[in-house]
Amino acid sequence: MTDDNQLDAAFAALANPTRRAILARLAEGEATVNSLAAPFDMSLPAISKHIRVLVDAGLVTRGRDAQFRPCKLNGAPLAAVAHWTDQYRHIWGARFDAMDQIIADMKDTQK
Amino acid sequence: MTDTPKWVKITREFDAPIDVIWSMWTDPEMFKKWYGPMGMTVPVAEMDVVVGGTRKVSMQMTSPERTMTMWFTGVYKEINAPKRLVYTESMCDEEGTLISPQAMGMPEGYPDITEVIVDLSETGGRTTMTMVHVGVPEGSAGGGGWNQAFDKMVALLS
């Protein structure tokens, strides 16, 4: 993944309170899916889906233990996201991409 | 504030005349269309685009669990249509009353006011835009509601 794609994925993954709670729990140490699911009033498949998003974003890795495959926090993408200049650059960059798209749409309408 | 203010500077070129880009910033209906990407919408954008005039913008993020709305207000400091725009930005409540960033869970050192400076110039029907966002000190997070959450996470990690 390019840096930008990774940042996109990390931002998308963080834009959800359940996933942030899961990450906060994992910051204290690795945990199984079952123990991660325990505090939530949510089905195990629903929690697994959230974990999958975090794994895809590179924020969480899964262990090799065949039975439990504990989840572990990977801090690297988080560190990139946490730096405010990166955040603002990213937020404004995405906004200006949207501006570009509006201009392109306006041109299409004029044709 | 003892922290050194930091800034973000972004230069972009758009395939559109300067008036179009100016309206992106100053026409509320246009502004709403581009200001809220990444899962956020902009339901309210009120702009009194005169020097000393106020602006009020809301940003909303809807997830299956809840809807989060943030409000921002500010004052126009410089208006030189269609070349230069300077406005401030602060967090506020729905009525436009300022809220200290710390009360919103932002870390110490997050400034009460940030400033956005937009400079535009046109060459051959294309517009070069330079945007500078000033006033957020290094080491603090800002902007989105999730920042407070991962500030805590980063603190846990370090």
- Chain B hits for A73, Cβ within 8 Å: 157
Q: What is the pLDDT of residues B35-52, one digit of tens each?
A: 875 677 899 999 999 999
Q: Which of B131, B149, B156 faces A92 most closely, judged by CB atoms?
A: B131
Query: What H or E segment, with its residue span, contains residue A88?
Result: helix A84-110
Q: Which of B15, B37, B138 faces A98 most closely, judged by CB atoms?
A: B37
Q: What is the pLDDT of residues A42-73, one digit of tens each?
A: 899 999 999 999 999 888 999 887 677 899 98
Q: How far is CA B107 from the centre of its chain?
A: 18
Mutate to test the interface with B, among A49, A54, A103, A110 (most CBs of B within 10 A): A103
Among A47-51, A54-58, B61-65, B66-70, where is mean pLDDT lowest? B61-65
Q: What is the DSSP string of B72-119?
A: EEEEEEEEETTTEEEEEEEEE-TT--B--GGGGTPPTT--S-EEEEEE
Q: What is the pLDDT of residues B130-143, one digit of tens each?
A: 988 886 443 344 43
What fold does the segment set B5-157 form as a domain?
Alpha-D-Glucose-1,6-Bisphosphate; Chain A, domain 4 (3.30.530)
Report whether B61 contacts B47 (CB < 8 A).
no
**Roughly what angle, to the nearest 10 degrees, separates helices A3-14 and A17-26?**
100
- Chain B hits for A89, Cβ within 8 Å: 8, 10
Confidence band, pLDDT 50/70/90 cuts, at residue A83 = low
Q: What is the pTM of this model?
A: 0.61
pLDDT for the residue numbered A110: 78
A49 touches chain B (CB under 8 A): no
Domain boundaries, chain A: 3-82
Confidence band, pLDDT 50/70/90 cuts, at residue B27 = very high
| Distance from C-alpha of A81 to C-alpha of A90, rounded to nearest angstrom | 9
Specify the CATH architecture of the domain A3-82. Orthogonal Bundle (1.10)
